[in-house]
Structures are given as C-alpha cells and as structure tokens.
Amino acid sequence: MSFISYLVNGISLGSVYAIIALGYTMVYGIAKMLNFAHGDVIMIGGYVTFMIMSTMGLSPWLGIVAAVVVCTLLGVVIEKIAYKPLRGASPLAVLITAIGVSYFLQNIALLIFGANTKSFTSVVSIPDLVLADGQLTISGETIVTIIASVIIMIAMTLFIKKTKTGRAMNAVSEDKGAAQLMGINVNKTISITFAIGSGLAAIAGILLVSSYPALTPYTGAMPGIKAFVAAVFGGIGSVPGAMIGGILLGVIENLSKAYISSQLADAIVFAVLIIVLLVKPTGILGKEIREKV
C-alpha cells in the first residue's frame, strides 16, 4: 500500500516537473535557447499568490489568476529586455544571460520578500482521499496537481496541434526563415511562447508550494533544474517528451527517496539522465537530426 502512496506522490511531483518542463521545451524548440530563469518564474508565481492570499487575505482563485497574469507578463518582458537583443548572438552569450536573469529574479525576491521562509497556505481546499480502510491517504493537493497537469497537457497538445498559432510555433521551431516566408511574425511567436511557458510556470509554482509549503527566493531553482533534466530526458523540443520526462523523473525521485536513500535521490535522478543520454542522446522522444536535400 505504501508503494502506491509513493507512486502517486511521485506522479504528482512529476506532474509539476512536467508543467515546468513544458515551458523549457517550448522555449527551446522555438527560440533555441535554454531559459535558465524559467525556474525562478515559478518562485515569483508562488510569492504573488502568497501575497494575495496570506498578506491581503483574498481568495485563492484571485491569487492563482494574479500569479498567472504577473508571470505571463514577466516572461514576455524578460524575453524582450534580456533575450531579444541577443538574437543571432552566440548560444553561450544567451545562456550566460539566462543565468544572470535567474540570479536577478532571486535577488529581487530577496529584496522584496526577505530571506525568511514563508509558510505557504495551500490553495487546495478539497479533503484528502482515504482509501483501503485508511491504509492509503492521497492528499487533496496531490489529486488537484495530477488533474491540473492532465488538463494542461491535453489543452497544450490540442493548442499546438489544432490552432493556427500552434502551427506557427511548429513552423518557427523547424525553420525560422521559411516560417517568415509564410507570413509568420517570428518575434511575436517567440513572445507568445514565453508568455505561455511563464503562465504555466506560475501554475506549476502554486501547485508545488501547495504540496511543499516552504517558500523562499530559491524555491524555484531546484525544481527548475529538475524540470530541465525532465525536458532533456524526454527529448528537448518535444512536448509529449516533456510530459513523459517530467512524470518519470518525479516517480524515480520519490521511489528513490522511499526505498534507497532520501539523500541520494537527486543523485539518482541525475544518474538516470546520464544513462538515458548515453543510450539515446536525443532523449526518449527526441527528434533525430534528419536532413533531406
């Protein structure tokens, strides 16, 4: 019974990784850059909700909406100010800038909210699910996290596959020049991608701190890196890959904590990544580099 409990919690944690990884992988697919500040957007989302709910005492729904709006705008602004001027610059310059933006966001949060850990009040108010005569308890947060991530994944898949904007994103990710020849505004498409990724990061952040209620300026850093690992694990640039990678990562992490060692869990996660990349360098669902003349 405890195995099922560990597994369900792993899926829940993995769902959060998957939502964050979606942002990583979409931005990588379209702007061909690793946005290492993505994890810190999660933390900003957490603080916005915290302020609305705990400081101002308003409803959690308002907190969620505010966090999504703030993070969406933040994502667009970061792209405009920090990354757009570097389009065409060497990937290394962009990478260093992204790390810089990450530290910038952490320190802004430190300045505004202080270093003290804030105890986040969960946005979830549904009761825990008790199964098998009390042997198995699944928390309301876990249930909401899994349901939310399933909804997000279905919505994102439909969005990318069925809408005109989604099709434009695919086109830009494959060939920017040819996309422009179709009349697609590449800059706008990149902006939209950052907006969506950052909005999703806000939701991921709220779900994360609802389950693990300690909020600090560094709350987003580790989940951000894990989600990056998940995105690479699943095949960076691939949306279903990010989902599979995220959930697998969460499950591996939680089961390692439960059965091997809670200290070694992160090491095991990264070891699995290394092994996967050794066997399949493009990740689980990564696209092979294929060229046709």
Partner 1 sequence: MAMLEIRDLEVYYGVIQAIKGISFEVNEGEVIALIGANGAGKTTILHTVSRLINSKSGNIIFEGRDITKIPPHQLVEMGMAHVPEGRRVFAYLSVLENLLLGAYTRKDRDEIEESLQNVFKRFPRLEERKKQHAGTLSGGEQQMLAMGRALMSRPKIILMDEPSMGLSPILVSEIFSIIKEISASGTTVLLVEQNAKKALEIADRAYVLETGKIVLDGPANELAENEAVRKAYLGE
The verdict on 158 binding partner 1 (CB under 8 A) reads no
Choice from 56, 96, 111, 181 touching partner 1 (CB under 8 A): 181
Site size toward partner 1, by CB under 8 A:
21
Choice from 93, 114, 174, 267 touching partner 1 (CB under 8 A): 174
Choice from 88, 92, 132, 290 touching partner 1 (CB under 8 A): 290
Most distant CA pair in the chain, distance: 64
The verdict on 293 binding partner 1 (CB under 8 A) reads yes
The whole-angstrom separation of Cα 146 and Cα 151 is 9
If DSSP codes are grouped into helix, strand and coil, which group holds residue 214? strand
The whole-angstrom separation of Cα 26 and Cα 22 is 6
The answer to whether the beta carbons of residues 20 and 39 sit under 8 Å apart is yes
Alpha helices in 32-90 (DSSP H): 38-50, 60-78
Q: How far is the CB of 89 from partner 1 (least distance, A)?
A: 16
The whole-angstrom separation of Cα 97 and Cα 265 is 30
Considering only residues 186 to 205 of the shown chain, the ones binding partner 1 according to CB under 8 A are 186
Choice from 180, 264, 274, 281 touching partner 1 (CB under 8 A): 180
Among the residue ranges 35-43, 47-55, 168-176, 277-285, the one whose residues contact partner 1 (CB under 8 A): 168-176
Considering only residues 98 to 157 of the shown chain, the ones binding partner 1 according to CB under 8 A are none
The verdict on 182 binding partner 1 (CB under 8 A) reads yes
> For helices 186-211 and 164-174, what crossing angle results, to 10°?
100
DSSP code of 212?
Answer: S
The verdict on 282 binding partner 1 (CB under 8 A) reads no
Among the residue ranges 38-46, 54-62, 107-115, 162-170, the one whose residues contact partner 1 (CB under 8 A): 162-170
The answer to whether the beta carbons of residues 250 and 12 sit under 8 Å apart is yes
Among the residue ranges 183-191, 194-202, 249-257, 268-276, the one whose residues contact partner 1 (CB under 8 A): 183-191
The verdict on 287 binding partner 1 (CB under 8 A) reads yes
The verdict on 90 binding partner 1 (CB under 8 A) reads no
Nearer to partner 1, 44 or 160 (CB): 160
Burial degree of 258 (CB within 10 A; 0-12, 13-18, 19+)? middle
The verdict on 175 binding partner 1 (CB under 8 A) reads yes
Cα 167 to Cα 72, 164, 191, 288: the distances in Å are 21, 5, 15, 20
Residues across the chain: 293
Nearer to partner 1, 22 or 66 (CB): 22
DSSP code of 127?
Answer: P
Q: Which residues contribute to the site for partner 1 (CB under 8 A)? A: 164, 167-168, 170-171, 174-175, 177-186, 287, 290, 292-293
